[in-house]
Amino acid sequence: MKQRSLLILHRRMGLISALFLMLLSLTGLILHYSVGLRLDSRFIDSRALVNWYGIELPEFSASFVAADSRLSQLENRLFFDSTALPGNYPSLRGLARTDFGFAAASSNQLILLTDNGEIVEVLDADYGVPAPIERLASNTDGELYLEVGSDIWQADPDSLQFQIVTTAPATLVWSEASAVPDSLQQQILADYAASLITWERLLLDIHSGRILGNLGVILVDVMAILFFLMAATGIWIWSRRRP
């Protein structure tokens, strides 16, 4: 009777451990080919998964409007309306309409954009851009001006010339920050959240049990003990079998 009860327990432990072992084997096999599958650069678009991980989304640090288009900054990323721009940028200082599209200024860059928000060029100190830029302005002729400390600089992206002006034009309009509308905030945050968790991270967390937090780590430890008991009871049952 004792051997029969132990056999039943052995089978039940075997079923539970088999399911867990299948999960470990599957995730481990996929992770083995992580580089080839580019899992470290494939992101999961799931706001629910971001919430499950407890990741707090950042707040917008700056946002500017020009000609009904908006450029916003979330951490070190820029969004033209709801479209993310490639690259990382320091503090955003302004957005202005130009005859070729738009010009945006960060603390040490002048970013040239098309009408659709595509990046044409990013100018920095190597091109003669003064820094640190505090504000960006334009006049009725579409000329660009930068406030750097107590000086006003005229910027000509076409000729790559930057020079201090003694008197700023009376028609100069400085770019002013404004709040991002709620509907646009949701679109941008959804796009931002979709770039936080990779498939590699998810599979690693499932494989290690960390997807369930501390409970998952404990569960993996319990399964390790279960594997040991499976082996021990299996050896004992085998040793008690009659010839």
Q: What pTM did the predictor assign? A: 0.72
Domain membership of residue 55 (yes or no) is: no
Question: What is the per-residue pLDDT across 122-157, written as a single tens digit (0 to 9) for each?
Answer: 999 999 999 999 999 998 777 899 999 989 999 988
- Taking the C-alpha atoms of residue 200 and residue 70, their distance in angstroms, rounded to an integer, is 34
Q: Are residues 119 and 178 in the same domain?
A: yes
Give the pairing of strands 144-148 and 151-156: antiparallel
Residue at 70 is within a domain? yes
Domains held by the chain: number: 2
Q: What is the pLDDT of residues 67-82, one digit of tens each?
A: 899 999 999 999 999 9
Q: Is residue 213 in a domain?
A: yes
160 has pLDDT over 80? yes
Residues 36 and 148 in one domain: no
Residue 53 lies in a domain: no
Domain containing 169 equals 60-193
Q: Where are the alpha helices (DSSP H) in 115-213?
A: 182-193, 199-208
- Cα–Cα dist 215/221, whole Å: 10
Do 167 and 121 fall into the same domain? yes
